[in-house]
A and B are shown apart, each in its own frame.
Chain A
Amino acid sequence: MSAAVADTKNASTLLEVENLAVEFDTYGGTVQAVRGVNFTVQAGKTLAIVGESGCGKSVTVQSMMGLIPMPPGRITAGSARLRGQEILGRTLVDGREIRGSQIGMIFQDPMTSLNPTMTIGKQIAEPLQVHRGYSAKKAFARAIELLEMSKIPEAAKRASQYPFEFSGGMLQRAMIAMAISCKPSILIADEPTTALDVTIQAQILDLLQDLQKETGMAIVLITHDLGVVARMADEVAVMYAGKIVEHGSVDDVFYRSAHPYTLGLKLAMPNNDPSRQHTLQPIEGSPPDLFSPPLGCGYCARCPYAMQLCCSKHPQEFVMSGAHYSRCWLHHAAALSKPEELYFSATQGDQ
């Protein structure tokens, strides 16, 4: 275990994911979607996992929730511990249901994520009936309260409507109400705003922040929108090709970016500040083939600063400070070039 993980392991650590690896068998071969991921989630804080499509961010959280279809999926290594108790492959911790009770989850597309033939209220009431033993009537009454908490007007009337009578934003609010029904300590939000238009996105993010303040739950936010990260996150993990390449506080990652991929993402992000007008710089090329992942750093083929070593040997975690680390050989003391756009720790020579 690296120093970075050890540092953060304290009383407020709620969830600890260690060396998680997930594979999928396909006709084309075995895809190594997640290749050894470590992170922790602190109580009441928001961890954002950022990365482009196919980098394994959704698979990471879905494997924790037991949502990976097995087969073809397979968790080949690693552990995920909630308050020190293993949850991978289990449904109960200390006799309490994990999914839907201690960890809630919302998804990308609210339009298809709710059962079309069941009323919203009944769907929200379900976890309460199953995990808390509420009667159908009591659970439905609570569902109305939860809809009110999620700021849905006329909640009592809305509760007995069907998903097709809701708009996309309203459905995502209902999803949130459902996910928090049993007061989970962690809410996993898998691209919660990707399918919504921009004004609604802001409302949903506000709602998530308000609910976090009210309930003190931790949020694991999966997104590829750096704007959302800046607004919501306390900590950020940048994922690429099934691995976390940079991790740190939101300020660390944005202002002291220590990995060329993070830098590339920032340059590819549009901004509306007229004083900082620049053309968007795409990251050339495409992510590596995860049927046969590269020996070295996954980003090496696209990295403008790649060295010979990068493509043959996988970099370890180079700690910048505290929990901020980067998996990039440029931080090695022996690396000759030190691009000035990149952040380098003063103590990096020690490694």
Chain B
Amino acid sequence: MWSYLLKRLLQGILTVWFIATATFFAMHNVPGDPLSDERVMTAAIRANLEAKYGLDQPLMTQYLIYLRNISRGDFGISFTQENREVNDIIREHFPVSATLGILAVLFATVGGVLWGALTALYRNRLPDVLIMFLVILGISVPSFVVAALSQLSLVNLNDFFGRTILPVAGWGTVSHMLVPAMVLGLGTMAYLTRLMRSSMLEIVSSDYVRTAKSKGLPPERIFTRHQLRNAILPVVTVLGPSIAAITTGGFVVELVFAIPGLGRYFVEAVQQLDYTVIMGTTVFYGAFLVFMVILVDVLYVFIDPRVELN
């Protein structure tokens, strides 16, 4: 167990190093230069920055300086925002993104498992047809459309009642989080519903469910103890990539709902060629995702007794 964890952690660090390296060289191949805008800074500031990051040095030296800095956890200072360290930006805005992401993952997983099980139990009957229609919508409509439409619905809703039932945008309270989390989790929930449905259908006709029936167990017990637990395994398998999909999808939703998450900074930084912020957030997101995937793999052991970590 522990040696497995150590191995996975080392592999994770290797992955993060690869992400960092790829981002570094990609950024250096992007045309343009954040220091070339004469209006922003004086020659003195420019010289200071060049010295700090070794920007007047050869590429490999810059790369080594960069690696040394991030291994110390120092992502540098923003090139465009005054007096802000990348670490501060992450510390301030990542919790917002994470809260939104966790809510979305919860919503997607719980919804996917329940809807999937329901459609399988009502196979080819009205609830199944209805839910599967919505699932196909959920998979095919991109999140920015859903986000805009749900915002419009919120406006109409609040209009109808003459007061704010749910805020249309912004951040702060639970009521701010609900709709964006649902929009963010929708695509993944639809995907998980489909997965859960097919997995459940397979298990409904399995030998051990037949055995459970022959034992005279009540249907609720068969459902919870024999069907759900086994049907959920494929869902857990894709949970790691799903978390990745939701977190990266967060940028759009944060933008539409004016949520002060990390995603907005990431997008803005790319537009403004804010090198340190781009590289910092990319590496941070990369590390976060790698960690989540490892976590899901370890979680799997507790759900499927057949899986051993080695």
Point out residues on A near B: beta carbons under 8 Å.
65-67, 69, 91, 97-101, 104-105, 107, 109, 112-118, 126-127, 130-131, 162, 164, 175, 178-179
Tell me, in angstroms, the Cα distance from A115 to B226 when the chains sit together. Answer: 7
CB distance from B248 to the nearest CB of A (A): 32
Interface residues on B, range: 20 to 34
CB distance from A92 to the nearest CB of B (A): 10
A131 B213 Cβ-Cβ under 8 A: no
Contacts of A105 in B (CB 8 A): 211, 214
Contacts of B221 in A (CB 8 A): 126, 130
Q: Taking the complex as formed, is B39 at the interface, i.e. its CB lies under 8 A from any CB of chain A?
A: no
Tell me, in angstroms, the Cα distance from A104 to B215 when the chains sit together. Answer: 7
B229 A117 Cβ-Cβ under 8 A: yes
Q: Which one, B210, B216, B229, contacts A131 given CB within 8 A?
A: B216
B225 A97 Cβ-Cβ under 8 A: no
Closest to A61 in B: B214
A113 B210 Cβ-Cβ under 8 A: yes
Tell me, in angstroms, the Cα distance from A346 to B276 when the chains sit together. Answer: 104
B207 A67 Cβ-Cβ under 8 A: no
Q: Taking the complex as formed, is B148 at the interface, i.e. its CB lies under 8 A from any CB of chain A?
A: no
Tell me, in angstroms, the Cα distance from A198 to B218 when the chains sit together. Answer: 36
Closest to B305 in A: A162
Within 8 A of A (CB), among B244-283: none
B306 A164 Cβ-Cβ under 8 A: yes
Q: Taking the complex as formed, is B212 at the interface, i.e. its CB lies under 8 A from any CB of chain A?
A: yes
Known A116-B230, A116-B306, A162-B305: A130·B217 in contact at CB below 8 Å? yes
Which of B211, B225, B306 counts the most chain A CB atoms within 10 A? B211
Q: Taking the complex as formed, is B99 at the interface, i.e. its CB lies under 8 A from any CB of chain A?
A: no
Show 30 residue pairs from A and B whose CB-CB distance is below 8 angstroms, ordered by the A residue: A66-B213, A67-B214, A99-B216, A100-B214, A100-B216, A107-B207, A107-B211, A107-B214, A109-B207, A113-B207, A113-B210, A114-B211, A115-B211, A115-B225, A115-B230, A116-B230, A116-B305, A117-B229, A117-B230, A117-B304, A126-B215, A126-B217, A130-B215, A130-B216, A130-B218, A131-B216, A162-B306, A164-B306, A178-B211, A179-B214
Q: Taking the complex as formed, is B208 at the interface, i.e. its CB lies under 8 A from any CB of chain A?
A: yes
Tell me, in angstroms, the Cα distance from A100 to B217 when the chains sit together. Answer: 8
Main secondary structure of the interface of B (DSSP, over half): helix
Contacts of A65 in B (CB 8 A): 213-214
Q: Which one, A99, A101, A104, A112, contacts B206 given CB within 8 A?
A: A112
B212 A115 Cβ-Cβ under 8 A: yes
Known A107-B207, A112-B206, A112-B207: A99·B214 in contact at CB below 8 Å? yes
Contacts of A100 in B (CB 8 A): 214-217
Q: Taking the complex as formed, is B205 at the interface, i.e. its CB lies under 8 A from any CB of chain A?
A: yes
Contacts of B304 in A (CB 8 A): 116-117
Tell me, in angstroms, the Cα distance from A162 to B218 when the chains sit together. Answer: 23
B213 A99 Cβ-Cβ under 8 A: yes
B225 A118 Cβ-Cβ under 8 A: yes
Known contacts A115-B208, A117-B303, A162-B306, then 17 further A-B pairs from the complex at CB < 8 Å, ordered by chain A residue: A65-B214, A66-B213, A67-B214, A100-B215, A112-B206, A114-B208, A116-B304, A116-B306, A117-B229, A118-B226, A118-B229, A126-B225, A127-B215, A130-B216, A131-B216, A178-B211, A179-B214
Tell me, in angstroms, the Cα distance from A267 to B215 when the chains sit together. Answer: 38
B215 A69 Cβ-Cβ under 8 A: no
CB distance from A27 to the nearest CB of B (A): 14
Within 8 A of A (CB), among B72-121: none
Contacts of A162 in B (CB 8 A): 305-306
CB distance from A79 to the nearest CB of B (A): 20
A112 B208 Cβ-Cβ under 8 A: yes
Task: Please encode chain B, from 3 to 34, with 1 for each CB lying within 8 Å of some chain A CB and 0 for all others.
Answer: 00000000000000000000000000000000
Tell me, in angstroms, the Cα distance from A178 to B233 when the chains sit together. Answer: 25
Tell me, in angstroms, the Cα distance from A97 to B208 when the chains sit together. Answer: 20
By Cβ-Cβ distance, the 5 closest A-B pairs, closest first, are: A100-B216, A99-B216, A100-B215, A112-B207, A105-B214
Contacts of B215 in A (CB 8 A): 99-100, 126-127, 130, 178
CB distance from B184 to the nearest CB of A (A): 31
Contacts of A109 in B (CB 8 A): 207
Tell me, in angstroms, the Cα distance from A127 to B213 when the chains sit together. Answer: 10
Known A115-B230, A164-B306: A107·B210 in contact at CB below 8 Å? yes
Tell me, in angstroms, the Cα distance from A130 to B214 when the chains sit together. Answer: 13
Q: Which one, B205, B212, B305, contacts A117 given CB within 8 A?
A: B305
CB distance from B238 to the nearest CB of A (A): 18
Task: Please encode chain B, from 193 to 235, with 1 for each CB lying within 8 Å of some chain A CB and 0 for all others.
Answer: 0000000000001111011111111100100011001100100
Contacts of B214 in A (CB 8 A): 65, 67, 99-100, 104-105, 107, 179
Tell me, in angstroms, the Cα distance from A107 to B212 when the chains sit together. Answer: 12
